[in-house]
């Protein structure tokens, strides 16, 4: 297929391993569970799987607190299971992207145990220890400094106190981290998602952050000394050198407190391939359903990424956000979720699809006592945390939605008897078939994968654009409203290639999506 480059033309599907499929009946998803659904993923039409962490973890941040970077948590399987997963994915032409959480370790990691054992331990400098805290705040609430009574100093943690930040300025740390990349590259991993990579380096003098207006103490300071330090770039250059010594490897950064221009500055031929700028989800309490707002965000991103020759990423859902279907849909109807999916799959950039998004899974709601996620426990009821979007995958209408044969770690959404993969596979109008058809169309249509983006002027409440290559043009039209909108018939020899409803040329029915193509 032309010059298909998997991370640029393809679609990356995020799996939160503990919630995807439980093969051994312990209520937690695992690697073999994923292996057993590789045919499903291949048939769906995705190109790569991003696995959220499955390394050993005391679960203070559900896997994002790693206690050993080069092993598999026995609850999720073994290294041999991981090799099977890589092999199975590769056999089907799919790639594997690993989540590496290297800004901090778990406090149970051997490195931190040593570092915190005495002030003169040889690994003391592997973490950031000080006599006195500065004003830095942890993202999950409270001071970013924790006092260690044993060694009578404070250590830095930008997340929970069980996630101490490592000292990336120490050359031994950097070497150890590059060895982690090497380890997984040797196991056949195709790419990495770097958790909060732009926080690796801190200002060495640890000055206070200057104040600004905000709600939480965390938001009442400008984060200029705790993230985005210049030393990040030489490290990215070194990392890219390592990745490029293997064929077609990839790294995407999760930019902490992402700002578009800053995000772009981390990408390029000798830096990251891509970094999330979260253009459509950057505020996790406010998600506009307004085509004018979307067009604004899209054109801002288009201008900035085109100018820098950077390939964008598109994210509508992940393990940190309320699901797109929960944000935009009313009741059971999936019309708005389909529209969101169309944006995800037809904008210029690599789409990241979150497990369950293909069946428009909704967030679960939990009572206060059931909440597991640390920021949810801290800020309830203003912020209820991220458990909602992490519930078990809904495979069928059997008990526990076919995810497991025992009670899962988080409750299954009560709608699973109606909303599940098996039921939707059998229904031609389902969200599943909508997503699958669009994924396959995208694969066969170079303009949708590679084409430039050209915005079009359309009636209020609608959004339209072209995706264009030298020899193909696709017209995308969407109606964000729950009422019909008349819209001029496109001039020229357009062929209707996709619609969610009637596909009539002179109008768009409520929430309708239409795609036309011209060669
Ligand atoms: C970003 C991850 O996406 C999130 O889930 C995690 O809690 C923090 N980084 C800390 O690792």
- Residue 139 CA, ligand 1 centroid: distance in Å: 10
Range in 44-58, 214-228, 489-503 the model is least confident about: 489-503
Q: Say which of 162, 165, 195, 228 is annotated catalytic.
A: 195
DSSP β-bridge partners for residue 126: none
**Minimal-distance CA residue to ligand 1 atom 11:** 64
pTM over 0.95: yes
Q: What is the pLDDT of residue 492?
A: 86
Residue 2 — pLDDT band, cuts 50, 70, 90?
Answer: low
Mean pLDDT of 127-139: 98
| Atom of ligand 1 minimally distant from the CA of 64 | 11
Nearest to 254 by CA among 213, 313, 302: 313
The strand pair at 153-156 and 129-130 is best described as antiparallel
- Residue 16 CA, ligand 1 centroid: distance in Å: 12
Mean pLDDT of 246-267: 97
Q: Is the CB of 61 under 6 A from ligand 1?
A: yes
Specify the 3-state DSSP secondary structure of 387.
Answer: helix
* Whether residue 515 has pLDDT greater than 70: yes
Distance CA 225, CA 203 (A): 5
| Atom of ligand 1 minimally distant from the CA of 386 | 5
Given a contact cutoff of 8 angstroms between Cβ atoms, the answer to whether 141 and 378 are in contact is: yes
- Residue 405 CA, ligand 1 centroid: distance in Å: 29
- Residue 306 CA, ligand 1 centroid: distance in Å: 29
Q: Is the CB of 81 under 6 A from ligand 1?
A: no
Q: What is the pLDDT of residues 406-444, one digit of tens each?
A: 999 999 999 999 999 999 999 999 999 999 999 999 999
Given a contact cutoff of 8 angstroms between Cβ atoms, the answer to whether 485 and 504 are in contact is: no
Q: Say which of 146, 254, 334, 373 is annotated catalytic.
A: 254
Mean pLDDT of 454-461: 96
Q: What is the pLDDT of residue 212?
A: 97
Widest CA span in the chain: 76
- Residue 417 CA, ligand 1 centroid: distance in Å: 31
Q: Is the CB of 60 under 6 A from ligand 1?
A: no
- Residue 192 CA, ligand 1 centroid: distance in Å: 15
The reply to whether 254 belongs to the active site is yes
Q: Tell which one of 60, 97, 258, 320 to mutate to probe ligand 1, the residue whose CB is within 8 A of the most ligand atoms.
A: 320
Starting from the edge strand earliest in sequence, which strands make up the sheet with 145-148, in order?
A: 129-130, 153-156, 145-148
- Residue 64 CA, ligand 1 centroid: distance in Å: 6
Q: What is the pLDDT of residue 217?
A: 94
Q: Is the CB of 196 under 6 A from ligand 1?
A: yes
**Minimal-distance CA residue to ligand 1 atom 2:** 195
DSSP 177: H
The reply to whether 195 belongs to the active site is yes
Q: Is the CB of 101 under 6 A from ligand 1?
A: yes
Q: What is the pLDDT of residue 1?
A: 54
Percentage of the chain with pLDDT > 90?
Answer: 95
Distance CA 116, CA 478 (A): 56
Q: Is the CB of 319 under 6 A from ligand 1?
A: yes
Q: Is the CB of 199 under 6 A from ligand 1?
A: no
| Atom of ligand 1 minimally distant from the CA of 140 | 7
**Minimal-distance CA residue to ligand 1 atom 8:** 64
| Atom of ligand 1 minimally distant from the CA of 65 | 11
Q: What is the pLDDT of residues 46-67, one digit of tens each?
A: 999 999 999 999 999 999 999 9
Mean pLDDT of 329-347: 96
Q: What is the pLDDT of residues 239-252, one digit of tens each?
A: 999 999 999 999 99
Mean pLDDT of 342-346: 98
How many residues in the chain? Answer: 519
| Atom of ligand 1 minimally distant from the CA of 319 | 5
Distance CA 263, CA 273 (A): 11
DSSP 127: B
Q: Tell which one of 159, 160, 354 to mutate to probe ligand 1, the residue whose CB is within 8 A of the most ligand atoms.
A: 159
- Residue 195 CA, ligand 1 centroid: distance in Å: 6
**Minimal-distance CA residue to ligand 1 atom 6:** 64
Distance CA 309, CA 74 (A): 42
CA quadruple 144, 16, 262, 244: dihedral sign = positive
Write down the mean pLDDT value for the chain. 97
Q: What is the pLDDT of residue 491?
A: 82
């Amino acid at each position: 297929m032309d010059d298909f480059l998997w991370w640029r033309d393809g679609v990356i599907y995020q799996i939160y391993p503990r919630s995807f499929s439980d093969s051994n009946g312990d209520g937690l998803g695992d690697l073999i569970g994923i292996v057993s659904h590789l045919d499903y993923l291949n048939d769906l039409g995705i190109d790569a799987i991003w696995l959220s962490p499955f390394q050993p973890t005391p679960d203070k941040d559900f896997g994002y607190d790693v206690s050993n970077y080069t092993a598999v948590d026995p609850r999720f399987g073994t290294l041999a299971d991981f090799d099977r997963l890589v092999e199975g994915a590769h056999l089907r032409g799919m790639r594997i992207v690993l989540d590496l959480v290297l800004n901090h370790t778990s406090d149970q990691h051997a490195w931190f145990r040593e570092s915190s054992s005495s002030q003169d331990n040889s690994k003391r400098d592997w973490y950031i220890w000080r006599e006195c805290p500065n004003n830095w705040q942890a993202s999950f609430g409270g001071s970013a400094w924790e006092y260690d009574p044993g060694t009578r100093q404070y250590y830095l943690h930008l997340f929970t106190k069980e996630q101490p930040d490592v000292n990336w300025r120490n050359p031994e740390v950097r070497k150890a981290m590059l060895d982690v990349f090497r380890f997984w590259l040797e196991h056949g991993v195709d790419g990495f998602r770097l958790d909060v990579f732009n926080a690796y380096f801190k200002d060495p003098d640890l000055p206070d952050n200057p104040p600004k207006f905000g709600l939480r103490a965390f938001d009442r300071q400008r984060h200029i000394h705790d993230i985005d330090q210049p030393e990040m770039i030489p490290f990215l250059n070194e990392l890219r050198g390592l990745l490029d010594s293997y064929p077609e490897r990839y790294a995407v950064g999760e930019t902490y407190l992402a700002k578009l221009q800053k995000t772009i500055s981390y990408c390029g031929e000798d830096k990251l391939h891509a970094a999330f700028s979260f253009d459509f989800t950057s505020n996790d309490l406010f998600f506009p359903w307004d085509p004018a707002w979307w067009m604004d965000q899209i054109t801002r991103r288009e201008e900035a990424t085109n100018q820098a020759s950077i390939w964008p990423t598109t994210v509508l859902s992940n393990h940190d956000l309320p699901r797109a279907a929960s944000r935009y849909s009313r009741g059971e109807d999936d019309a708005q979720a389909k529209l969101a999916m169309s944006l995800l799959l037809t904008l210029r950039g690599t789409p990241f699809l979150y497990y369950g998004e293909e069946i428009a899974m909704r967030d679960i709601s939990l009572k206060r006592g059931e909440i597991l996620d640390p920021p949810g426990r801290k800020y309830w009821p203003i912020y209820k945390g991220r458990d909602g979007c992490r519930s078990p995958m809904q495979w069928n209408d059997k008990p526990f939605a076919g995810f497991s044969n025992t009670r899962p770690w988080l409750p299954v959404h009560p709608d699973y008897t109606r909303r599940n993969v098996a039921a939707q596979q059998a229904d031609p109008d389902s969200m599943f078939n909508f997503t699958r058809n669009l994924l396959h169309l995208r694969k066969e249509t170079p303009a949708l994968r590679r084409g430039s983006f050209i915005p079009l002027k359309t009636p209020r409440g609608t959004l339209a654009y072209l995706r264009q290559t030298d020899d193909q043009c696709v017209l995308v039209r969407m109606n964000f409203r729950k009422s019909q909108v008349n819209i001029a018939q496109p001039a020229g020899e357009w062929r209707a290639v996709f619609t969610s409803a009637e596909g009539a040329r002179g109008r768009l029915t409520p929430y309708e999506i239409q795609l036309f193509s011209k060669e």
